[in-house]
């Protein structure tokens, strides 16, 4: 099959009259400057789909439920208490239904692949399920049902703080021994084998939850796939890390783990100038989740200096409190503007569009963090793409990079989304959106009952 676009964003830039020949879920051939053939499906504006590098799908079910002021000092840590109470009773079916709803909403805004940082391994009582991948299979089912590309990142989580502190009760569903985790990785590989171009990485949760010895044992289980870890999201975490080892989390990782292009450091919010420079030079991706980081009061990532030093960035939706691909890019730039009292902070050169810069950065960094060799609208890449709605007045009179700026900053709408060549979103709505929302409704109403 073939899609034809009046204009589309290719790796070399915007082109007119673009025809994409698609086979086996991949782009087989790209032609430009041609007129539409009779049976080509016609669209106006084509851009590549983005990778969402960091999601906890189940957290979508508590979106908007942690915004009530508590007795004192609401913070990430008090939010985490609410989150632990929410996950307390979720059964596998509810996990699948909530995750599927999150994936529908991701697709509808232009994310075509998700890195699921999956840690709900045990049952509500903290006992292992008879099937070690009971819940991972539910994540895979949600991906299959919605069509989103899946990079499954099974999480190793064993401790409540630096230095191997015992886990607390709220963490009982996350825990594995090293042996159990090895089995989980093997079974996870099988659980995703039937999904189109799914892949597997590994996720030592954080330096809070994993000891240095455990980290060293987990990293090789990635077998060349991505390695994701939360790092330096909160100042308390940085302080606790310094109290434990005399070093900051990103500093410790750069010194003790071989952080390279396989790695994604999620958040990396609190870094010194030296850490920022070293992380940028490492080739790793910083997995930024600007909407969640704002929601949780994490802090502001030093994006300007990091990008100026060639640092790589991917975009994640983390808590899934609000799913919006363009909105994440907007939030990233807006935090920098508010912080520096200036504009167009993350556009790298004079005359360059901020939206285009953000988009190109997130496209390349996202693909790297989720282990995608080929990306963008080119032969060999997955046919993961998005059309912007040319009938949305937001886009009237715009062309080329102004289309991206109007999508990101002015709220322009997505029309269709294709994942592995299949149209999963039409006129802004997922093709199975109503049914998935009905399942989600039953699941979330029974959890909150």
Active site members: 267, 318
Q: Could you give the angle at the alpha carbon of 95 between the alpha carbons of 267 and 171, nearest 5°? A: 60
Of the residues 122, 159, 230, 439, which one makes contact with ligand NGQ according to CB under 6 A? 230
117 phi, psi to nearest 5 deg: -90, 90
CB of 61 to ligand NGQ, least distance (A): 13
CB of 289 to Zn ion, least distance (A): 7
Return d(Cα 447, Cα 449) in angstroms, integer.
6
Q: Which partner, Zn ion, ligand NGQ, none, binds residue 98 by CB below 5 to 8 Å per kind?
A: none
State yes or no: residue 240 binds ligand NGQ (CB under 6 A): no
Give, rounded to a whole angstrom, the gap between the first and last alpha carbons of the chain. Answer: 47
The residues pairing with 155 across neighbouring beta strands, listed in sequence order, are: 203
Report DSSP letters for 162-195, one per residue.
Answer: TTTBPPPGGGTTTB--HHHHHHHHHHHHHHTTTS
State yes or no: residue 318 binds Zn ion (CB under 5 A): yes
Query: Judged by CB, which is closer to ligand NGQ: 218, or 382?
Result: 218
Q: With CB under 6 A as the rule, give the number of residues binding ligand NGQ.
A: 6
Of the residues 108, 116, 275, 318, which one makes contact with ligand NGQ according to CB under 6 A? 318
CB of 136 to Zn ion, least distance (A): 17
SS3 content of the chain, % helix, strand, coil (to 5): 40, 25, 35
Site track for ligand NGQ across 283-312, x = CB under 6 A: -------------x----------------
Q: Which partner, Zn ion, ligand NGQ, none, binds residue 233 by CB below 5 to 8 Å per kind?
A: ligand NGQ
Exposure of 20 by Cβ count < 10 A (0-12 exposed, 13-18 middle, 19+ buried)? buried
State yes or no: residue 80 binds ligand NGQ (CB under 6 A): yes
Return d(Cα 180, Cα 210) in angstroms, integer.
15
State yes or no: residue 122 binds ligand NGQ (CB under 6 A): no
Query: Judged by CB, which is closer to ligand NGQ: 181, or 375?
Result: 181
Residue whose CB is nearest to ligand NGQ in the complex, by number: 56
Stretch that binds Zn ion, among 29-37, 215-223, 313-321, 323-331 (CB under 5 A): 313-321
Return d(Cα 184, Cα 34) in angstroms, integer.
50
Return d(Cα 343, Cα 336) in angstroms, integer.
8
Map the footprint of ligand NGQ across residues 343-372, applying CB under 6 A.
none
Of the residues 19, 43, 56, 248, which one makes contact with ligand NGQ according to CB under 6 A? 56
The residue among 379, 421, 445 whose CA lies nearest residue 41 is 421
State yes or no: residue 105 binds ligand NGQ (CB under 6 A): no
CA 155, 161, 163, 168 torsion-angle sign: negative
Residues binding ligand NGQ (CB under 6 A) = 56, 80, 230, 233, 296, 318
């Amino acid at each position: 099959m073939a899609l034809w676009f009046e204009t589309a964003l290719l790796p070399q830039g915007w082109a007119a009259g673009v025809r994409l020949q698609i086979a086996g879920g991949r782009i087989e051939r790209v032609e430009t400057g041609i007129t539409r053939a009779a049976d080509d499906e016609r669209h106006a504006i084509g851009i590549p789909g983005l990778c969402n590098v960091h999601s906890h799908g189940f957290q979508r079910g508590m979106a908007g439920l942690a915004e009530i002021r508590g007795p004192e000092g609401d913070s990430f840590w008090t939010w985490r208490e609410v989150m632990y109470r929410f996950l307390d009773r979720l059964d596998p079916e509810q996990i699948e239904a909530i995750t599927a709803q999150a994936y529908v909403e991701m697709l509808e805004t232009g994310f075509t692949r998700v890195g699921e940082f999956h840690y709900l391994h045990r049952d509500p009582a903290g006992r292992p399920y008879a099937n070690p991948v009971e819940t991972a299979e539910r994540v895979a089912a949600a991906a299959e049902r919605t069509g989103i590309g899946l990079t499954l990142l099974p999480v190793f989580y064993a401790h409540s703080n630096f230095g191997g502190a015992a886990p607390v009760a709220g963490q009982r569903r996350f825990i594995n021994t090293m042996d159990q985790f090895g089995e989980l990785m093997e079974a996870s590989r099988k659980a995703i084998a039937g999904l189109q171009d799914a892949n597997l990485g590994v996720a030592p949760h954080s330096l809070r939850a994993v000891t240095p010895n455990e980290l060293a044992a987990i990293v090789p289980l990635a077998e060349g796939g991505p390695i994701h870890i939360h790092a330096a999201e909160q100042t308390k975490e940085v302080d606790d890390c310094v109290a434990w080892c005399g070093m900051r989390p990103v500093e410790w990782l750069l010194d003790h783990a071989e952080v390279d292009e396989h790695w994604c450091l999620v958040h990396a919010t609190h870094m010194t100038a030296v850490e920022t420079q070293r992380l940028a030079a490492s080739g790793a991706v910083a997995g930024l989740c600007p909407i969640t980081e704002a929601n949780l009061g994490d802090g502001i990532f030093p994006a300007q200096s990091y990008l100026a030093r060639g640092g790589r960035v991917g975009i994640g939706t983390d808590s899934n409190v609000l799913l919006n691909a363009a909105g994440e890019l907007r939030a990233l730039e807006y935090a920098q503007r508010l912080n520096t009292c200036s504009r167009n902070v993350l556009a790298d050169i004079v005359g360059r569009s901020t939206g285009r810069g953000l988009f190109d950065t997130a496209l390349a960094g996202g693909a790297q963090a989720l282990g995608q060799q080929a990306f963008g609208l080119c032969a060999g890449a997955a046919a993961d793409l998005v059309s912007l709605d040319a009938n949305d007045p937001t886009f009237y009179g715009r062309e080329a990079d102004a289309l991206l700026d109007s999508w990101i900053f002015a709220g322009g709408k997505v029309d269709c989304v294709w994942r592995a060549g299949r149209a999963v979103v039409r006129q802004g709505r997922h093709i199975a959106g109503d049914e998935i929302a009905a399942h989600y409704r039953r699941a979330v109403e029974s959890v909150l009952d």
